[in-house]
Structures are given as C-alpha cells and as structure tokens.
Amino acid sequence: MISVNPEERKHILSEEALIIRHSGEIPEVAYHNSLYHLTADPEGPGMELSPEELSLLKQAVTERYEWIIMRDINPENRNRRIYRGLERCAINWYRLKAFCKKEGFRINDIRKRVAASLKKFLAREMDDIKSGKRQNTSINCSYYTLVRLAEDMAMSEDDLPKGIKDLCSERTD
C-alpha cells in the first residue's frame, strides 16, 4: 500500500464521496468504482480503508438514493426531463432499503422524509388534476405499486388521497 498523508487522504475520500453523491441512477455502482479506485486500481492511491472511511462512502450512497427518490416525488419536477415518476421512486426506494439492510444502516429518518414528501406529492397531483391545472397525471405506476410503496412508508391505503387509484396506470405488477 502507498502511504498517503492524513490531509491528502481526507481530501481523496471527500472527493470520492462527492462523486458518489453526484453519480447516476445507481449510486452503488459509483461506490464500487470508488472502492476499486481507492484500493486496487494500479493508478489509484492504493489505500486500505478504515471502517469509518468505508462508512463515509456508504453514507454518500444513501444520500444519493434519497436525492433521487425525493426528485421523483417533487411535484415541481413533473414536467422536467429529470423526472422519472413514482415507478422509479419505488424501485430506488427498494434499492436503498436493501443497501441499508446489507450495510446495517438505519432507514427510519429517510423513511419519514420520503413518506411526508410522498403524501404531499399525491395530494398535489390530485388537486392539480381536479382543478384542471394538469390534464394528464404524472403517476406512472400501478395502484398496487403505489399501495405497496405507501405501506413501506408506514402509511395505510386509507392515507392515500381519495380517487388516487383512478390516476394510476392500468397494468398490474
């Protein structure tokens, strides 16, 4: 292993965490790329990472997943190219949940934030459709997917806005 002074080491790790936080749709790929670069890449720094340093990089993965999920339940994004919809939101939620379980990270605080945003998103979607502000729904998942996601957020089907089922896609999962 190459010796890296503490200040340079801190800088390298913060750069890698930043790369993960701003990575694409699957932050775990960026995480594994960072691990390879930091530890095994012949052109990398050849570091041996401590549990705390690994945790810093894993935390960046959870932050990126949360950002992606929140992007897709932000009503302001519904007409933007970055919007992927509730279908992708659900997929990314389950990826985040699996990652956190595997790594021993708690997910309760993220769940609360996502649940609050999901409730607001659904209420806004219903209001916009009812008022005519939107002609077409931006909900791109089945009702089954929506209910399953809501239940995973500690919400019940009764917590969903009345009539939301009519805005969901017809397909079954």
Lowest mean pLDDT among 52-66, 67-81, 85-99, 158-172: 158-172
pLDDT band at 1 (very low <50, low <70, confident <90, very high): low
pLDDT band at 169 (very low <50, low <70, confident <90, very high): confident
Cα–Cα distance for residue pair 119/46, rounded to 1 Å: 46
pLDDT band at 158 (very low <50, low <70, confident <90, very high): very high
Summarize the confidence of residues 162-171 as an average pLDDT: 88
Domain boundaries defined on the chain: 1-71, 86-173
User: For position 86, what pLDDT does the model report?
Assistant: 96
What lies within 8 Å, CB to CB, of 104 at 6+ separation is none
| pLDDT exceeds cutoff 90 at 171 | no
Cα–Cα distance for residue pair 50/44, rounded to 1 Å: 17
Give me 16's structure tokens.
Answer: 């890698």
What does the pLDDT look like over 102-151, one tens digit per residue?
999 999 999 999 999 999 999 999 999 999 999 999 999 999 999 999 99
User: For position 39, what pLDDT does the model report?
Assistant: 95
CB 48 within 8 A of CB 4: no
Q: What's the DSSP call for residue 169?
A: B
> DSSP 3-state assignment of 142?
strand
User: For position 172, what pLDDT does the model report?
Assistant: 55
Q: What is the pTM of this model?
A: 0.91
Give me 64's structure tokens.
Answer: 């990126």
| pLDDT exceeds cutoff 60 at 63 | yes
